[in-house]
A and B are shown apart, each in its own frame.
Chain A
Amino acid sequence: MSALLAGLDCTGETWSVALVRGSECLAECGGLNARAHLRWLFPALVDCASRSGVRLADLESVAVTSGPGSFTGLRLGIVTARTMAQVLGCPVRPVDTLEALAWNVPESPRVVAALDARRGEVFAACFQTGTGGCLRLTEDRAFTPEELAGALESWGGGVLVGSGAVRYSPVLEKVPGVRILPPVFAQIRASAVALAGQRQAPLNPLDLVPTYLRSAEVQLHGVRP
């Protein structure tokens, strides 16, 4: 039987947990409201296990979005995943948040995943998606909406997905060849995190580090370095 993986995401306004075996999602649960992340994340996973008749003790690994994203949510997901792995004696598999988001758009030559990063910025990266998964075309970085519009122009447009794309659609949709997906596609699914995680190298839980893409000082002073 293929390995059982858990997927976790709470890096944005929504949270999601899932259990995946091979290419099948056994159970998935999620919700809106960033303030409920802590309350529901772990209990929902316990619920997924009981509804799908598997034991969390049988997890081969825990996949988690490791950023970029909301700092508080990012840390919550990472500490939950690390602690699960510590108890179960299994590895973790970090998944880039933007890659997990790009999984919402299957079979596209150019998917631009863009998260609202607050402070007038978006975290974005460009991917090519197909049946085999997700191929990264650019590195994650922070853009102002105008900078992203410029980058989109040089990439020749693409399908835009994520909270950043939705929020700054007035600026971004002016670029030729750009299509912005509605908010329902901006929700990251933990099943995608687990499926993407299957391709990531397993990591000792204590070696899992978040991708903040912004220093703590910027958060403090509100200026870009």
Chain B
Amino acid sequence: MSHDRVEPYSPRLILGLESSCDETSVAVLEEGRICRVNLVSSQVALHEKYGGVVPEVACRAHMEVLNPLLQEALDQAGTRLADLDAVAVTHGPGLVGAVLLGVAAAKTLAGLLEIPLIGVNHLEGHLYSTFLEHSDVELPLVCLLVSGGHTQIVEMTTPGAYRVLGSTRDDAAGEAFDKVAKALGLGYPGGPRVEEAARRGDPSRLHLPRPMLEAGCEFSFSGLKTAVLVHLQSPDRVSVDDLCASFQEAVVDVLVTKTLRAARECRARTVAVAGGVAANSALRHRMEEACRKAGIPLRSPSMGLCTDNAAMIARAGWELARLGLRSPLTLDARPNLPLSSRI
């Protein structure tokens, strides 16, 4: 069991810890709203030479920075450990050796300080990231969670009630960006590199498939990636910039179309896009346009809160506390933890 039911509570100062992939992050959140500090130590530079996240390299880096970052976060927040009222931590999904370091620190803190421990699903964290900056998020919310590891559309009807409307059957959208960038020799991380090239290119130069555009909320990006690779072998190749623009256009088309369809079907009162790929400006613009046309407010987190961070974990922990949930000190890391409803 990862949670016990207790009387609902509302921690004033909550510490958030995140270490599920390639960023280590520590945040202190006050009253569920005021982010006193949200420090993120990114490992992107470390993984660049490997062209992807290497688990052992990631875990070594997490271990090195976790405790110093905690100290720095407390100093910057002007908080002593004894002032904390709860600890929220990502306990999955993610790289098991990385997730467990955050969980180990969190349970030690919670146990010694005698405060509640709250295990948070990383995806749940992304879902709540939008609430950190917007106080006017009306439910139901339909959120596109899109990153290097995930692509799914989730509906939230009340806090803690989530329904996964669809997810990817193969590659995540961010993964497709990385693979295409690699094939084009653009380097790692692929998202920003492809986006930069796409800005100079013409998206109408090459028509690429929009996989499963008509089929519900399920995604598939591996066919699109293959189409790019096949085109690279053809004699009448378009330029790298045009190819990036055409590829990005196809991905964005699929993401926007499906998110809006889900929003209409769920009668959503808010749409959000969260996760690392949400930082892609083409996606942001197209989603804004589509939401404006549909008359549904778009409330996405700002760039800094799209990528992995501990403030969103603290916020999700605060919501779980108010639902009367806390985790036992036997909390485990769950590398494949699915997103499931809390109520």
Contacts of B97 in A (CB 8 A): 71-72, 75
A220 at interface (Cβ–Cβ under 8 A)?
Answer: yes
Contact status A76-B104, CB under 8 Å:
yes
**A71 touches which one: B56, B107, B111, B333 (CB < 8 A)?**
B56
Binary per-residue interface labels of chain B (88-102) against chain A in the complex, 1 for a CB within 8 Å, 0 otherwise:
000000001100110
B:58-106 near A, CB below 8 Å: 59-60, 62-63, 66-68, 70-71, 81, 96-97, 100-101, 103-105
For chain B, the count of residues having a C-beta within 8 Å of the partner chain is: 33
Q: What separation, in Å, do the CA atoms of A200 and B332 have in the docked complex?
A: 31
Known: A71-B97, A75-B63, A87-B112. A39 touches B104 (CB 8 A): no
Q: What separation, in Å, do the CA atoms of A46 and B56 have in the docked complex?
A: 30
Q: What separation, in Å, do the CA atoms of A42 and B328 have in the docked complex?
A: 11
Contacts of B59 in A (CB 8 A): 71-72, 75
Contact status A210-B63, CB under 8 Å:
yes
How many CB-defined contacts (below 8 Å) exist between A and B?
Answer: 85
Contacts of B329 in A (CB 8 A): 42-43, 46
Q: How large is the interface on A (under 10, 10 to 19, 20 to 34, 35 or more residues)?
A: 20 to 34
Secondary structure call for the A interface: helix
Known: A216-B54, A216-B57. A38 touches B111 (CB 8 A): no
Binary per-residue interface labels of chain A (163-176) against chain B in the complex, 1 for a CB within 8 Å, 0 otherwise:
00000000000000
Binary per-residue interface labels of chain B (121-155) against chain A in the complex, 1 for a CB within 8 Å, 0 otherwise:
00000000000000000000000000000000000
B108 at interface (Cβ–Cβ under 8 A)?
Answer: yes
Contact status A83-B330, CB under 8 Å:
no
Contact status B330-A43, CB under 8 Å:
yes
A115 at interface (Cβ–Cβ under 8 A)?
Answer: no
Contact status B68-A206, CB under 8 Å:
yes
Known: A42-B108, A87-B112, A216-B56. A72 touches B100 (CB 8 A): yes
Contact status A205-B56, CB under 8 Å:
no
Closest Cβ neighbor of B81 among chain A residues: A87
Binary per-residue interface labels of chain B (103-119) against chain A in the complex, 1 for a CB within 8 Å, 0 otherwise:
11101110111000000
Known: A38-B332, A86-B67, A206-B71. A220 touches B101 (CB 8 A): no
Contacts of A75 in B (CB 8 A): 59-60, 62-63, 97, 101
Closest Cβ neighbor of B331 among chain A residues: A39
Contact status B109-A87, CB under 8 Å:
yes
Contact status A42-B104, CB under 8 Å:
yes
Contact status B112-A220, CB under 8 Å:
no
Contacts of B62 in A (CB 8 A): 75
Contact status A84-B108, CB under 8 Å:
yes
Q: What separation, in Å, do the CA atoms of A78 and B67 have in the docked complex?
A: 10
Contact status B67-A206, CB under 8 Å:
yes
A105 at interface (Cβ–Cβ under 8 A)?
Answer: no
Known: A39-B332, A206-B67. A83 touches B108 (CB 8 A): yes
Contacts of B56 in A (CB 8 A): 71, 216, 219-220
Contact status B67-A56, CB under 8 Å:
no
A40 at interface (Cβ–Cβ under 8 A)?
Answer: yes
A57 at interface (Cβ–Cβ under 8 A)?
Answer: yes
Closest Cβ neighbor of A37 among chain B residues: B100
Contact status A220-B50, CB under 8 Å:
yes
Binary per-residue interface labels of chain A (196-207) against chain B in the complex, 1 for a CB within 8 Å, 0 otherwise:
000000000110
Q: What separation, in Å, do the CA atoms of A93 and B314 have in the docked complex?
A: 32
A181 at interface (Cβ–Cβ under 8 A)?
Answer: no
A41 at interface (Cβ–Cβ under 8 A)?
Answer: yes
**B63 touches which one: A46, A57, A79 (CB < 8 A)?**
A79
Task: Please give 17 more A-B residue pairs, beta carbons under 8 A apart, in addition to A87-B81, A88-B112.
Answer: A40-B330, A42-B329, A43-B328, A43-B330, A71-B59, A72-B59, A72-B100, A76-B100, A76-B104, A79-B67, A79-B105, A80-B108, A83-B67, A83-B108, A206-B67, A216-B60, A220-B50
Cross-chain pairs A/B with CB under 8 angstroms, 23 sampled: A38-B103, A42-B104, A42-B107, A42-B111, A43-B328, A43-B329, A46-B329, A71-B59, A72-B100, A75-B59, A75-B60, A80-B105, A83-B104, A83-B105, A83-B109, A86-B71, A87-B108, A87-B112, A212-B60, A216-B54, A216-B57, A220-B50, A220-B54
